[in-house]
Amino acid sequence: MTQRIPVVENILNANDRLAEENRARLDSAGVFAINLMASPGAGKTSMIEQTLPRLKDRLRIAAVDGDIATSIDADRAAAAGALASVQINTGGECHLDAVMLQGALNQLDLTQFDLLIVENVGNLVCPASFKLGTHKSILVASVPEGDDKPYKYPGMYRGVDALIINKIDLLPYIPFKMDYFQRGVEALNPGVITFPISCRTGEGLDAWIDWLLQNVKR
Amino acid sequence: MTQRIPVVENILNANDRLAEENRARLDSAGVFAINLMASPGAGKTSMIEQTLPRLKDRLRIAAVDGDIATSIDADRAAAAGALASVQINTGGECHLDAVMLQGALNQLDLTQFDLLIVENVGNLVCPASFKLGTHKSILVASVPEGDDKPYKYPGMYRGVDALIINKIDLLPYIPFKMDYFQRGVEALNPGVITFPISCRTGEGLDAWIDWLLQNVKR
């Protein structure tokens, strides 16, 4: 299987170059972009549904939603107040890449937005390897996934700029040791900013919204 | 990106041939093998921890655990009663493939086992594309992942021989519409046998154990 490595490296180099082009387009239009990554069902779309109503009077927001199939997520983003939402169906691919985001950017008049939220495919592995050109990478972890995930998926935890711990409302019902989880995070990504949140109850969302606003306005 | 397709197809063909070799080795040794797949944290390892104590006096069981990093899962399988457990660290790869399983089989005296439980990497996308040579593919879904997962990850739901719905003890605390979930499953995989289960309370495990025993003894 060693023959595969050069092919993969070439694809990643090409992807990185295109990610830089995406970033330049976003910057020249004044758009701040985040890449939301997570396991399937950790709550990426719920985060978008909670974030948009809190910001839509202050920022012009577009959403790009990557999925293997369906437009469920883009529909939910539009319903929550995104001025524009673009669905990328990856056709079986397990992650977004810079080419796919380029295709989505082509469908948007970037000068009309302040914030672009990109929702990646639900996957704790592959999305970490493909830069998109966004400014910040955000991981949405969730309590029911278990407290061992930083140890088992180090690539994802190592590379992100912020960590959301969603579904904290389920902590009473699940054996999840927050200390053990956070020690794993700290070893991989020292000092990473962390937001314990419940999309269901709204707990913890204010700190996340403040952080996002501060970053957009920089 | 179209240049990538032939490469991927060649890898898959090579993988399928090797999966057939793995199957032949398992068959000639009289070992029944299952491939457990799921999102990160859906409960694959917990299923193994619940299954082994219920069967270890009736079957000789080995476990193979695939992970990006750590040997947490193989250690848990050994502690739960696997006579042998082999950890495969994929070195960043997001799925097991037939080459990796071949390497694990080489470490086992297959004549000493009746049942081999292979725990794939936590991922709802890529493992579905790589045959290993196991006899049955099992998907462990879980209630906190949400009821839209069959619609969003059709490849995985379409290809499995049995479906476990884990963490049903959390149904009172989560908006999960079982009807909607099951309609999605039925459209992709009509009549697939389904086991609603709680690894935490033990509810529903007997039916799963019976099904597994029947299949091993065939």
Query: What integer is the mean pLDDT of B82-99?
Result: 93
Measure in Å the smallest separation between the Cα of A206 and chain B Cα atoms.
22
Tell me the per-residue pLDDT of B103-143, one tens digit each, with 9 for 90 and over: 999 999 999 999 999 999 999 999 999 999 999 999 999 99
Mean pLDDT, chain A, whole residue set: 94
Query: What integer is the mean pLDDT of B12-36?
Result: 96
- Interchain contact, A70 vs B152, CB within 8 Å: yes
- Interchain contact, A126 vs B126, CB within 8 Å: yes
- The partner residue sitting opposite A94, judged by closest CB among B125, B145, B167, is B125
What is the DSSP annotation of B47-115?
HHHHHHHHHTTTS-EEEEEEESS-SHHHHHHHHHT-SEEEEEE-TT-SS--HHHHHHHHTTS-GGG-SE
Query: What integer is the mean pLDDT of A63-79?
Result: 93
Residue pair A123/A68 in contact (Cβ under 8 Å)? The answer is: no
Measure in Å the smallest separation between the Cα of A190 and chain B Cα atoms.
19
Of A87-91, A135-139, B99-103, which range is least confident? A87-91
Domains of chain B: 4-217 (3.40.50.300)
Query: Hey, how many other C-beta atoms are within 10 angstroms of the C-beta on A103?
Result: 12
Closest residue in A to B43 (Cα) is A145
Of A173-182, B68-77, B135-144, which range is least confident? B68-77
The secondary structure element, H or E, covering residue A109 is: none
> Is residue A17's pLDDT more than 50?
yes
Query: What integer is the mean pLDDT of A195-201?
Result: 97
Asked if A211 is an interface residue toward chain B (Cβ–Cβ < 8 A), one would say no
B144: chain A residues, CB-CB within 8 Å = 41, 142, 144-145, 167, 170
Give all strands of the β-sheet with B32-38 in edge-to-edge order: B84-89, B61-67, B115-119, B32-38, B136-142, B162-166, B193-196
Q: Which residues contact A190 (CB under 8 A, 6 or more apart)?
A: none
Of B8-22, B73-87, B114-128, which range is least confident? B8-22
> Is residue B24's pLDDT more than 70?
yes
Closest residue in A to B14 (Cα) is A1
pLDDT of residue A9: 73
Q: How far apart are CA A185 and CA A63, in angstroms?
A: 28
Query: What integer is the mean pLDDT of B59-74?
Result: 94
What is the value of ipTM here, to two decimals?
0.89
- Interchain contact, A169 vs B167, CB within 8 Å: no
pLDDT of residue A67: 93
Q: Which residues contact B144 (CB under 8 A, 6 or more apart)?
A: A41, A142, A144, A145, A167, A170, B167, B170, B174, B176
> Is residue A148's pLDDT more than 80?
yes
Cα-based angle A122, A18, A96 (whole degrees, multiple of 5): 10
Measure in Å the smallest separation between the Cα of B126 and chain A Cα atoms.
7
Query: What integer is the mean pLDDT of B201-213?
Result: 97
Structure tokens at A63: 């959403």
Residue keyed to tokens 């419940």: A198
Query: What integer is the mean pLDDT of A64-71?
Result: 93
pLDDT of residue B3: 45
Tell me the per-residue pLDDT of B148-193, one tens digit each, with 9 for 90 and over: 999 999 999 999 999 999 999 999 999 999 999 999 999 999 999 9
Q: How many CB pairs under 8 A join A and B?
A: 117
Q: Which residues contact B115 (CB under 8 A, 6 or more apart)?
A: B31, B32, B33, B34, B55, B59, B60, B61, B62, B212, B216
- Which of residues 34 through 63 in chain B touch A, CB cutoff 8 A? 39-41
Q: 3-class DSSP state for residue A165?
A: strand
Closest residue in B to A122 (Cα) is B124
User: Exposure of A104 by Cβ count < 10 A (0-12 exposed, 13-18 middle, 19+ buried)?
Assistant: buried
Is the model more confident about B23 or about A9? B23
- The partner residue sitting opposite B155, judged by closest CB among A68, A122, A170, is A68
pLDDT of residue B1: 36
Query: What integer is the mean pLDDT of B68-76?
Result: 92
pLDDT of residue A1: 36
Given pLDDT bands bounded at 50, 70 and 90, which one contains residue A3? very low
Given pLDDT bands bounded at 50, 70 and 90, which one contains residue B2? very low
Q: How far apart are CA B106 and CA A196, in angstroms?
A: 44
Asked if B170 is an interface residue toward chain A (Cβ–Cβ < 8 A), one would say yes
% residues pLDDT > 90 (chain A):
91
- Interchain contact, B94 vs A4, CB within 8 Å: no
Residue keyed to tokens 């040997």: B71
pLDDT of residue B176: 97
pLDDT of residue A33: 98
Phi/psi at A28 (nearest 5 deg)? -70, -25
- Could you tell me the CA-to-CA distances from B20 to A34, A117, A204 in Å, in that order? 43, 44, 51
Residue pair A91/A54 in contact (Cβ under 8 Å)? The answer is: no
pLDDT of residue A7: 67
Query: What integer is the mean pLDDT of B46-75?
Result: 95
Structure tokens at A17: 């170059």
> Is residue B9's pLDDT more than 90?
no
> Is residue A215's pLDDT more than 90?
yes
pLDDT of residue B218: 64
Asked if A91 is an interface residue toward chain B (Cβ–Cβ < 8 A), one would say no
Asked if A198 is an interface residue toward chain B (Cβ–Cβ < 8 A), one would say no
Given pLDDT bands bounded at 50, 70 and 90, which one contains residue B10? confident
Q: How far apart are CA A210 and CA A115, in angstroms?
A: 14
Query: What integer is the mean pLDDT of A83-93?
Result: 92
Q: Which residues contact B162 (CB under 8 A, 6 or more apart)?
A: B136, B137, B138, B139, B192, B193, B194, B195, B211
A123: chain B residues, CB-CB within 8 Å = 94, 123-125
